Structure 1
Amino acid sequence: MATPRRALVVIDVQKEYFIGNLPVEYPPVEQTLPNIARAMDAAHAAGIPVLVVQHSTPPGTPVFAKGTTTWALHDEIGRRHRDHHIEKGWPSVFTQTDFADWLKANEIDTIAVTGYMTQNCVASTLFEAFHRGYAAEVLKDATGAVPYANAAGSATAEEVHRVLNVIFHSRFASVTATDDWIAAVQAERAIPMDNIPASNLRARQLARSAGTAATKAA
């Protein structure tokens, strides 16, 4: 694999997810926030540009209302080096921003994604990056999810985060841990991704193995 031309993208690490109406539950912020900070420090040390993203909504809205305490970046993010800042109003970092132009100007071919939420802005950005021809990486222990319950059903934050990362790694992004990402950065190497047929085959093999084990136990 060729050496990736990376940028680290730090998505919406804002106080809303810590003290506001959308508390991130899994992985816990006590784990993910330090990992995001470590990734930022490692990227800066390696000369990888760092892009910090901040979500904004109009005054009076229940989450991310611009200018409120919970709209602000977390202090650990705000005090660290960044090469570019984007304020967005849509889930994908690409939508109605200068993100694509910034990537092109900096000759980036691979985005490494951290931040919140796994099921919303992280997923939207990864999917759009894939369709635009970018490689992507996602740091599974430097991103996080919230639980949902609605007319379609319910899912815990752990279920949301785990399932989406399995999906990401099958097609859309190389899923890795922060320690492994930092090692790959320092070694200037790419992180491999899986594919849909292989991922599906393993799942069917696991199901068959489970069925065989259940039959023997009966």
Structure 2
Amino acid sequence: MTGLWTAIGLGVLSLVAYIILSLGKLSRPTRGILIDRAVRPETALVVIDVQEDFTRNTGRHAFDPEKRDAALGAISREIETSRAAGHEVAFIRNVFRDWPVVVAMKLTAGGVGTPGREGLKFDRTLDVGDAPQFEKSIGDTFSCPDFEAWLAEKRIGRLILVGLDSCYCVQLTAMGALARGYAVEIREDATLTTQPEKWAGLKQDLETAGAALA
């Protein structure tokens, strides 16, 4: 009987550890191998999580419609400018996959970003065209191996980041990129956040780490 209770206790501890790990990795940048920018001269615009579950959310996590529309307009202009300049453009879609995160999102945010929702599609204002699309389930886009492989294939060493949320997925992707040696620019007017009071400190951290903000 003692062995049974020991097994149950270990199982509970393992479950708790898994939940903590799943929730914790949402807000941590990833680490990776340093690139050689000398052999990666190309630039890519990375459009992060501009999905209708987030942009058209009417709950307590909703964006101010005026600020949202202004940012969406700026994002569309960045897409047009990048294509005209011959730069690559990639679209990132966030879909929460770890079940503790899925449960948390359903309990606290109406299930936004969870599998099977119509709102996972990119915002209706975006001209996605035939651009590559990559899926992630945590903040840092570099958690997606296919994205990193695409950057290597296209010899990209400079990233321009736009999208949302600037306090979470945008800044985490920036930190993941900087940790790998990429040049990083964030176009502030083409980002959105639900926590503007938090952005000032994060912006300073990003600039200290080497990101350029325009």
Q: Contact 2:93/2:135 (CA < 8 Å) preserved in 1? A: yes
Residue of structure 1 in register with 2:71 after alignment = 32
| 2:22 counterpart residue number | none
SS at structure 2 position matched to 1:67: coil
What does 1:1-218 align with in structure 2 at a 5 Å threshold? Answer: 5-20=42-57, 21=59, 22-25=61-64, 28-58=67-97, 61=106, 62-77=111-126, 79-146=127-194, 157-176=195-214
Q: Residue 143 of structure 2 aligns to a residue in which SS?
A: coil
Task: Confirm or deny: 8 A CA contact 2:140 2:169 kept in the other structure.
Answer: yes
Structure having the larger proportion of residues in helix: 2
3-state SS of 2:83 partner: helix
Alignment check: 8 A CA contact 2:91 2:128 kept = no
Post-superposition offset of 1:81: 3.1
Q: Which amino acid aligns with 1:165?
A: K
Q: How does the TM-score come out when normalised to structure 2?
A: 0.69
Instruction: Report the alpha carbon displacement of residue 4 of structure 1 after superposing the two structures with TM.
Output: 5.5
SS in 2 for 1:24: coil
Flag the structure with more relative contact order, 1 or 2, with Cα contacts below 8 A and sequence separation at least 6: 2
- Tell me if structure 1 keeps the 8 A contact 2:93–2:136: yes
Unaligned 5+ segments in structure 1 are: 147-156, 177-218
CA RMSD of aligned residues (A): 2.3
* CA distances 1:192-214 after superposition (whole Å, capped 9, x unpaired): xxxxxxxxxxxxxxxxxxxxxxx
Give the structure-1-normalised TM-score.
0.68
Secondary structure of the corresponding residue to residue 86 of structure 1: strand
CA–CA distance in structure 2, aligned partners of residues 163 and 144 of structure 1: 15
Report the Cα offset of residue 33 of structure 1: 0.5
8 A contact 2:50–2:163 mirrored in 1:
yes
**CA drift at 1:145:** 0.9
User: How many Å separate the matches in 2 of 1:49 and 1:19?
Assistant: 27
Q: Which runs of 5+ in 2 are unaligned?
A: 1-37
- In 2 relative to 1, CA 26–127 (structure 1 residues): closer, same or farther, beyond 3 Å? farther
Cα offset for 1:165? 2.0
SS at match of 1:40: helix
Deviation at 1:49, TM superposition (A): 0.5
Q: Secondary structure at the match of 1:39?
A: helix
